[in-house]
Amino acid sequence: MTDPAGPRATPTPPTSAAVARRAGVSRATVSYVLNGQAAGRVGERAQARVRAAAEELGYVPHAAARSLRAGRGSIVLLAAPADTVPVLGPLFTRFLAGFQTALHALGYTGVLHGAPTASPLAAARAWAELRPAAVLTLHGPPLDAPAVALLRRAGTAAVLTHGPVAPPGAHTLLLDQREAGLRAGAHLLAGGRRRIGVVLPAEPGLAACAGPRLAGVRAAAAAHPDAEVRPLDLALTEESAARLAAAWPGLGLDAVFAYNDEYAMLLMRALQDAGHTLGVRAPGDVAVVGADDLLLGRLLRPRLTSVRAEITPPERIAGLVDELVRGPGTPPAVHRLGTFRVEARDSG
């Protein structure tokens, strides 16, 4: 009579005590053997018996109990507000993949926690419950001072947050979005453009990147007395793009930094579609620069000029985290997460 539910969840999962009983040794011995501390302490025969018993029972150590006893957990929390994860794109997910693998190699469990969070403090509280060894934020609203203080009080050895400046006690992971705008602006200005539009996405959650990018373009323009920068609202829909395209002649712009390759393509396409009636040619009359260097930018015609982030290898960041966790006294510093450069192609 087989159980229709298959192998059922045991009322009590096997513990190290169960392994000890089965192997005929004490729980201490089991612990030594299974953690590689058995050299010179436990006999060969006993070791073999313990390993066999663990195998047969399907024993898996209880991470919670272990970290409770050890006083420190091995979870590294990658925090990203749930509602912004989708828009981060392949750049973020690729980093994430490499980072988790690297952390695993160092003995940590990297975990992505999408915070459904009103305030940074509420998010920090939720994270602190897990007593993570480290917390990193890469996107969304950066941690503020109270949030950092809470995490540190909860024993988080390393707190790293993105953004231009970190609150006291937190390290900074710098992927300066201003730089993206700066590079795009400088590129366009070097190409002789002077009246630059900057797309501000209407989508929520992108404002955190969009603001600094705009500021970067402004900074680049400051060097040219005759340059002008104008923000443009755009949602990721064809209707919104058509509206913006229709208004284009009145704006008198000769270039646009479109926040992102997708927005860039959307806008460029709308300008092309409406171009005949408006007398605007893209990219002839208006240079278009995107960002993130997505595949689509290379496939569409004209090929899209794009600002690309060159991210620090995930292994390096993982190594940094490990260092900080092991030396919790390390004074906060700024760590570059990457830099930006322009991949010049046909659109501008």
Partner DNA sequence: TTGAAAGCGATACCAA
Partner DNA sequence: TTGGTATCGCTTTCAA
Which of 64, 247 has the CB closer to DNA? Answer: 64
For the record, the structure tokens of 249 come out as 């002649």
Least distance CB 44 / its own copies (angstroms): 25
Interface with DNA, residue 128, by CB under 7 A: no
Which of 149, 189 has the CB closer to DNA? Answer: 149
Q: Quick one: DSSP state of residue 155?
A: T
* Region from 19-27, 218-226, 280-288, 329-337 binding its own copies, contact rule CB under 8 A: 329-337
Q: Name which of its own copies, DNA, none residue 41 binds, using a CB cut-off of 5 to 8 Å depending on partner kind.
A: DNA
Ramachandran angles phi, psi of 302, nearest 5°:
-70, 155
Task: Report the site for its own copies in 46-105 (rule: CB under 8 A).
Answer: 57-58, 60-65, 67-68, 73, 82-83, 85-86, 88-90, 93-94, 96-98, 100-101, 104-105
* Region from 19-27, 111-119, 136-144, 280-288 binding its own copies, contact rule CB under 8 A: 111-119
Interface with its own copies, residue 13, by CB under 8 A: yes
Task: Report the site for its own copies in 200-259 (rule: CB under 8 A).
Answer: 236, 238
Q: Name which of its own copies, DNA, none residue 276 binds, using a CB cut-off of 5 to 8 Å depending on partner kind.
A: none
Ramachandran angles phi, psi of 140, nearest 5°:
80, -165
Neighbouring C-alpha atoms within 13 Å toward the C-beta of 85: 14
Q: How far apart are CA 335 and CA 337, in angstroms?
A: 6
Q: How far apart are CA 128 and CA 73, in angstroms?
A: 11
Q: How far apart are CA 115 and CA 343, in angstroms?
A: 33
Strand ordering across the sheet containing 287-291: 228-234, 195-201, 255-257, 287-291, 305-311, 338-343
List C-alpha distances in Å: 330 to 51, 77, 136, 199, 324. Answer: 39, 19, 16, 40, 6
- Residue 221 burial class via C-beta count within 10 angstroms: exposed 0-12, middle 13-18, buried 19 and up: buried
Task: Report the site for its own copies in 134-163 (rule: CB under 8 A).
Answer: 148-150, 152-157
Q: How far apart are CA 345 and CA 266, in angstroms?
A: 17
Which of 17, 246 has the CB closer to DNA? Answer: 17
Interface with its own copies, residue 295, by CB under 8 A: yes
Task: Report the site for DNA in 18-57 (rule: CB under 7 A).
Answer: 24-32, 34-35, 37, 40-43, 45-46
Which of 23, 79 has the CB closer to DNA? Answer: 23
Q: Of residues 25, 49, 110, 176, which one binds its own copies by CB under 8 A?
A: 110
Q: How far apart are CA 229 and CA 308, in angstroms?
A: 21
Residues making contact with DNA (CB under 7 A): 12-13, 15-17, 24-32, 34-35, 37, 40-43, 45-46, 59, 61-62, 65-66, 68-71
